Amino acid sequence: MTSARPSPTDAPVIVGALRTAIGTAGMAFRDVVAADLAAPVLAELAAPFDGLLPHDVVLGNCMGPGGDVARVSSLAAGLPVEVPALTVDRQCGSGLAALDVGSALVRARPGLVLAGGVESASTAPWRFWPPADGEDPVRYERAPFAPQSVGDPDMGLAADLLAEECGIPRERQDAYAARSHARASATTSAGGFTAEIVPVDGVKADERVRDGLTVERLARLRPTFRPDGTVTAGNACGINDGAAAVALVDATTAASLDLPGLRVLATATAGVDPRRPGLGPVPAVLAALSRAGVTLADLDVVEVNEAFAGQVLACCDALGLDDARVCEEGGALALGHPWGASGAVLAVRLFSRMVRADAGELGLAAIAVGGGQGVAMVVQRCR
Catalytic residue IDs: 92, 337
d(CA 249, CA 242): 24
Long-range contacts of 144-149 (CB under 8 A, 24+ apart): 145/91, 145/274, 145/277, 145/370, 145/371, 145/372, 146/274, 146/371, 146/372
- Does residue 242 contact residue 21 with C-beta atoms inside 8 Å? yes
Interstrand relation of 261-271 and 240-249 (parallel, antiparallel or unpaired): unpaired
- Does residue 325 contact residue 288 with C-beta atoms inside 8 Å? no
Interstrand relation of 362-369 and 373-382 (parallel, antiparallel or unpaired): antiparallel
d(CA 157, CA 225): 6
d(CA 330, CA 306): 9
d(CA 31, CA 203): 13
- Does residue 302 contact residue 363 with C-beta atoms inside 8 Å? yes
